Structure 1
Amino acid sequence: MHPKDLRRSLIRVMPLLVAGLTILVLLIYYQQVTRIKHTTFKNLVLENQQRALASLDQLLTPVSTNLSIVAEWLKEEMPRAGEIERLNARLIPILKEIPQVASAVIASDEGAEYMLQRTQGGWLTRVRESHEGTNRFQWSRWSTAREPVEQWNESTDYDPRDRPWFQGALETAEPDTLFWTSPYRFFSSGQPGLSVARRITREGTSRFLVVAFDVLLADISALTSNLVAEDDGIAFALTADDQIIGVPRDTQFETEAAIQEAMLTPVQSFSVPIVRQAYATWSDDGRPVATPFRVRGMDDSKDWWASVWDYGMGNQSLWLGVAIPEPALVKRMGGPWLGIPAAILATGLILLLVTLWLVRKTGKSEGEQLLPGSALFLSGDTDDDPANILQETIQRGESEFLEFKSTLRWNFKAGRTGKEIELAWLKTVAAFLNSGGGLILLGVNDQGDVLGLDNDGFANDDALLRHVENLVAQHLGSVHFPAIQSRLFTVAQKQVLAIKCGVAQQPVFLKQGKAEDFYIRTGPASRSLSPSEVLTYLEMRKVQR
Structure 2
Amino acid sequence: MPQSPLLVDFAVALPIVLGIAYVVAWAMRRLFGQRLRLSLTTMTIVSLLGISLGLLLSGLLFYGQRLWMPTTILLTVGSSIGLAFVTAAVAALVRPGYDDVDAAAVLAAGESDTVEFKETARWNVREQKKDPRMELAIAKTVAAFLNSRGGVLVIGANDAGEAIGLDRDLATLRTPDHDRFELWLRDLMSTLLGRNAAALPHIQFAAAPGGSTVCALNCPPSPKPVFLAQSKDGGSTDLWVRVGNSTRSLGVDEAVEYVARHWRPTLASVLTGRPRSG
TM-score range, shorter chain: 0.5 to 0.7
In structure 1, what is the Cα distance between the partners aligned to 2:181 and 2:200? 19
Which residue in the other structure is 1:541 paired with? 262
Structure 1 segments of 4+ aligned residues over 2 angstroms from their partners: 375-378, 490-493, 542-545
Which residue in the other structure is 1:530 paired with? 251
Which residue in the other structure is 1:424 paired with? 137
Q: Which has the larger radius of gyration?
A: 1
1:481 corresponds to which of 194, 198, 204: 198
2:153 corresponds to which of 428, 436, 440: 440
- Number of aligned positions between the proteins: 165
Instruction: State the 1:376 CA deviation.
Output: 5.2
Confirm whether residue 511 of structure 1 aligns to residue 229 of structure 2: yes
The question of whether the paired residues in 1 share the 8 Å contact of 2:147 and 2:225 is answered with yes
Q: Indicate the SS of the match to 1:483.
A: coil
2:183 corresponds to which of 451, 455, 466: 466
Which residue in the other structure is 2:220 paired with? 502
Q: Match of 1:402, as an amino acid?
A: V
Question: Any residues of structure 2 matched to 1:105-504 within 5 Å, and which?
Answer: 375=98, 377-378=100-101, 389-456=102-169, 457=171, 458=173, 459-491=176-208, 492-504=210-222
Instruction: State the 1:537 CA deviation.
Output: 0.8
Superposition TM-score, scaled by structure 2 size: 0.56
In structure 2, what is the Cα distance between the partners aligned to 1:419 and 1:425? 10
In structure 1, what is the Cα distance between the partners aligned to 2:243 and 2:250? 11
Name the one with the larger strand percent.
1
Superposition TM-score, scaled by structure 1 size: 0.29
In structure 1, what is the Cα distance between the partners aligned to 2:263 and 2:240? 17
Q: Match of 1:468, as an amino acid?
A: L
Instruction: State the 1:377 CA deviation.
Output: 2.6
Which residue in the other structure is 1:325 paired with? none
**Which has the higher relative contact order, 1 or 2, with Cα contacts under 8 A spaced 6 or more apart?**
2
Q: Indicate the SS of the match to 1:377.
A: coil
RMSD value over aligned CA atoms?
A: 1.9
Deviations 1:356-394 (A, max 9, x none): xxxxxxx998xx7xxxxxx4535xxxxxxxxxx311111
Unaligned runs of 5+ in 2: 1-93, 267-275
Unaligned runs of 5+ in 1: 1-362, 369-374, 379-388
Instruction: State the 1:493 CA deviation.
Output: 2.7
Deviations 1:305-349 (A, max 9, x none): xxxxxxxxxxxxxxxxxxxxxxxxxxxxxxxxxxxxxxxxxxxxx
In structure 1, what is the Cα distance between the partners aligned to 2:146 and 2:163? 25
Shift of the 461–542 alpha-carbon distance from structure 1 to 2, 3 Å rule, reads: closer
Q: Indicate the SS of the match to 1:510.
A: strand
In structure 2, what is the Cα distance between the partners aligned to 1:421 and 1:530? 22
Shift of the 429–496 alpha-carbon distance from structure 1 to 2, 3 Å rule, reads: same
